Amino acid sequence: MKKIQFNAVTATYKNGEGIRRADFVLNPHEFLFLTGPSGAGKTTILKLILMSMLPDSGDVQVGKYNSQHISKKEIPLVRRQIGCVFQDFRLLEDRNIYENIAFVLRITGHREKSIKRKTFKMLAEVGLSHKRNQRPQQLSGGEQQRIAIARALANDPFVILADEPTGNLDPETAKDILSLFKTINERGTAVLMATHNQNLVAQYAYRKLELKNGRVFG
Ligand SMILES: Nc1ncnc2c1ncn2[C@@H]1O[C@H](COP(=O)(O)OP(=O)(O)O)[C@@H](O)[C@H]1O
Ligand SMILES: [Mg+2]
């Protein structure tokens, strides 16, 4: 049962901005919102989980890995158990939808037969099997985000980190994406979603952490 834990984490950029003494836990299978205005430190928290930034003091525990003891070689292993979803989808424009999902499975060394089985399964889970031969730019924003979510899930992560995943979507589509995350969470994947959209957050009873000027509340 994997969890994420921040223990008195301070992490600053050269200009002095960043996170101050953050303490929180994302429990196994939990859905947690990370809220707060732009510049509060939400993306910085996600960078610390991915260990693309390391604390100045304190430590971050991600499953069995700890930021204090991690080696450079192990950082890809930390990331392999995490799925990431971004505001701007980040799909590969020069490949079709099928390939956008299949390529992450190739990177992790799956055989062609299992790549095909898993990719079709992920496409079905987000309801877009019929779009598999199209290019990302032929899909709506909401559809592109569903594909990005399918890709994030392909390697069976224990947690999905979503950074403003509804930031480029209209309110109706944003709601659909939220209910997709809810379904994913009900199937057993933890979700940590960073958003400044208080309206959306208010519609769900999940636990909320609020960030203000690099400090975590609640
Ligand atoms: N690479 C960076 N170098 C310097 N300062 C940064 C960098 N990234 C973010 N910051 C600053 O750190 C603070 C938190 O940023 P961020 O975590 O991106 O906030 P949020 O995601 O909540 O909008 C902001 O004041 C921002 O300007
Ligand atoms: Mg951000």
DSSP 78-142: HHHTEEEEETT----TTS-HHHHHHHHHHHTT--HHHHHHHHHHHHHHTT-GGGTTS-GGGS-HH
* Average pLDDT estimate for 177-196: 97
The tokens of 154 are what? Answer: 């392909």
- pTM of structure: 0.97
Condensed to tens digits (0 to 9), the pLDDT of residues 99-114 reads 999 999 999 999 999 9
Report all structural domains of the chain as residue ranges with CATH numbers, in order of start: 1-81+158-218 (3.40.50.300), 91-156 (no CATH)
Mean pLDDT of the chain: 97
Protein residues with C-beta less than 5 angstroms from the ion ligand 2: 42-43
The rounded Å distance from CA 59 to ligand 2 centre is: 21
The helix (H) or strand (E) run that includes residue 65 is strand 65-66
Condensed to tens digits (0 to 9), the pLDDT of residues 18-55 reads 999 999 999 999 999 999 999 999 999 999 999 999 99
Q: Which ligand is nearest to the CA of 167?
A: 2
The ligand 1 site (C-beta within 6 Å) comprises 13, 15, 17-18, 36, 38-44
The rounded Å distance from CA 17 to ligand 1 centre is: 7
Residue 218: the pLDDT is: 80
